[in-house]
Structure 1
Amino acid sequence: MVKHLFTLLLMTLLIPLNAANADTNKIIRLATTTSTDNSGLLKELLPEFQADTGYNVHVIAVGTGKALRMGRDGDVDVILVHARSAEDEFVTQGHGEKRYGVMYNDFVIVGPQSDPAGLSKSKDATTALQLIAEHQATFVSRGDDSGTHKKELGLWKKAAVDPHGRWYREAGQGMGKVLQIAAEMDAYTLTDRGTWLAYEKKSPLKIGFEGDPLLFNPYGIIAVNPQRYPDTNHFGAQALIQWLISPEGQERINNFRIGSNRLFTPSADAGEFAAAEH
């Protein structure tokens, strides 16, 4: 009886202690797409977030597919990615709590200055890819299950092209590295505009095609579900989400520029911010 009472007392004491420990865990593990890192955006935002909140963010920059897998395995606290259907599935399956829109940009197809496939004649993104395939102009794919790779595969499908052969190369690398490889090979590739603007001045490539609504590229942030993964830092994940979708966070995203070019357009919903605060 005495032993039973002691156990109950110990459990009573541990519950608030564990909650307090969770609240004082100042490390946030963020899995995010390489574009937010390669573009320089996180280097701009995170020091301000850390100064405001006291949290330290450990960034794991990988393709969106890998970031989602890390979230599904409970290896990170929060994910910031850009593959909307995969994000919705992540939440529907119970791995994440809720998706919050943060920002958007778009994809562009870049390639050699000489434009051997004649993309300047394209009326839309699918025509541009068809021309690349018809001319068997070298195309470098991310090939890494990233958000950009998912978008690229979807575009080939819409273009009714099965990309294969010597002209189609899969790199299995992040966006910055793929842009370097494409430049070395005098090849085309699909890139998000943010990373392109960060690399444009040091690249011999140029934009071959842009402007199709199909190339829209939204980014969302999702806290890993603490009910499924109780060891995650849910307090920290929510703090990062609230900061990024707050007026201050959105203004900082809006003001992040390279020259006069804005790399990302803020897109958080004011109603979602109000809900996230409570």
Structure 2
Amino acid sequence: MKPHIAWKQLFWLFAFLLVLSLFTTACRSQPQTLKLATTTSTYDSGLLDYLLPIFEEKYNAQVEVIAVGTGQALALGQTGEVDVVLVHARPLEEQFVAEGYGINRQDVMYNDFVLVGPPADPAGVADVNDVVAAFGRIAASEATFVSRGDNSGTHVKEMSIWEQVGIHPEGSWYLSVGQGMGATLTMADEKQAYTLADRGTYLKRQAEGLGLVILFEGDPLLHNPYGVIMVNPSRFPHVNGELADKFVMWLTSPEAQMAIDRYRVDGQQLFFSNLFAASEGK
């Protein structure tokens, strides 16, 4: 073999290996995409902006967030349009899993719902002892109430309370707007009306200048737990089940649970992790 031919072959071999190395590195650095359907409350509260970059950096991932009501989020899971859901309506979550659309549901965190309204409190709800009585006063006085009306976890909770009052709310005083939590709070503020809100979104909006105040809180009925569920990859083979599984494991890990507890708005904790609440006996 002539020397110049050998060197030429070595050159092309080196060039091939260099291109292969660059291609492999590029493939490894290309982030995977995770499609997450979640509630407007986790988005409007600012929690996701705080949490997701930690996951994305750890797993070289990019999370595409679709923030809608719980009912809509689960509907996206039922058609395989997302990989994982983070929602807050336990009966709907259990139905989603029972019907085979989701697997590996895990408790993540909780906060609570609060009844907010104008400082003048025209219905006098601040004077009652339970949330059912508070809703009853709003209905009896026909004070303006703004409902999300979107089959979200908040809306499901609201309707369960009206059911205990013994009425189906309707009339000019009851406004069903089909909007997320942030938009519903804005409308209630503009109309000096009552609404049911998750505490996290309310505190975030209050810090931004919302004029509504908490008029009733603390009833056990207002407990608001959140769960994460993988969309079933056996039913929808195209979903990113591997990354969804990593997300569920990470979200329930000590690292993520501590991050949830650390998140604050104006010094106030908005969500409480299930892991550390359980260890503290809460």
Q: TM-score range by the shorter chain?
A: 0.7 to 0.9
CA distance in 1, matches of 2:192, 2:163: 24
Structure whose CA Rg is larger: 2
Q: Structure 2: 5+ residue runs without aligned partners?
A: 1-26
CA distance in 2, matches of 1:145, 1:40: 22
Quote the residue 1:274 is aligned against: none
CA distance in 2, matches of 1:88, 1:174: 23
Equivalent residue for 1:75, pick from 57, 63, 81: 81
Quote the residue 2:163 is aligned against: 157
Amino acid at match of 2:107: G
Quote the residue 1:127 is aligned against: 133
Greater alpha carbon shift after TM alignment, 153-162 vs 219-228: 153-162
Alignment deviations for residues 222-265 of structure 1 (CA, whole Å, 9 cap, x no partner): 00000000000001111111111000000000000112211000
- Cα 1:270–1:52 shift into 2, 3 Å: farther
Structure 1 SS opposite 2:178: coil
Quote the residue 2:104 is aligned against: 98
Alignment deviations for residues 10-53 of structure 1 (CA, whole Å, 9 cap, x no partner): xxxxxxxxxxx9xx871000000000000000000011111111
Equivalent residue for 1:42, pick from 45, 48, 52: 48
CA distance in 2, matches of 1:123, 1:27: 48
CA distance in 2, matches of 1:25, 1:260: 34
- Cα 1:242–1:270 shift into 2, 3 Å: farther
Conserved? CA contact 2:146–2:176, under 8 Å = yes
Structure 1 position 195 matched with structure 2 position 201 = yes
Alignment deviations for residues 162-199 of structure 1 (CA, whole Å, 9 cap, x no partner): 21000000111000000000000000000000000101
Matches within 5 A, 1:1-278: 26-201=32-207, 202-268=209-275
Conserved? CA contact 2:31–2:60, under 8 Å = no
Q: CA deviation at 1:200?
A: 1.0
Conserved? CA contact 1:35–1:194, under 8 Å = yes
Alignment deviations for residues 81-111 of structure 1 (CA, whole Å, 9 cap, x no partner): 0000100110011100121000000000000
CA distance in 1, matches of 2:264, 2:142: 35
- In the alignment of these two chains, the number of paired residues is 249
CA distance in 1, matches of 2:277, 2:271: 18
Structure 1 SS opposite 2:120: coil
Greater alpha carbon shift after TM alignment, 125-134 vs 158-167: 158-167
Amino acid at match of 1:124: D
- Cα 1:208–1:270 shift into 2, 3 Å: closer
Conserved? CA contact 1:245–1:269, under 8 Å = no
- Cα 1:238–1:181 shift into 2, 3 Å: same
CA distance in 2, matches of 1:35, 1:88: 20
Q: CA deviation at 1:161?
A: 2.0
Conserved? CA contact 2:31–2:62, under 8 Å = no
Conserved? CA contact 1:137–1:167, under 8 Å = yes
Amino acid at match of 2:265: I
Amino acid at match of 1:256: Y
Deviating beyond 2 angstroms after TM superposition, the runs of 4 or more aligned structure 1 residues are 268-271
Q: CA deviation at 1:160?
A: 1.0
Identity of aligned residues (%): 51
Q: CA deviation at 1:121?
A: 1.2
Conserved? CA contact 1:33–1:62, under 8 Å = yes
Structure 2 SS opposite 1:243: helix
Quote the residue 2:9 is aligned against: none
CA distance in 2, matches of 1:120, 1:161: 21
What CA RMSD, in Å, does the superposition of the two structures yield over aligned residues? 1.6
- Cα 1:134–1:265 shift into 2, 3 Å: same
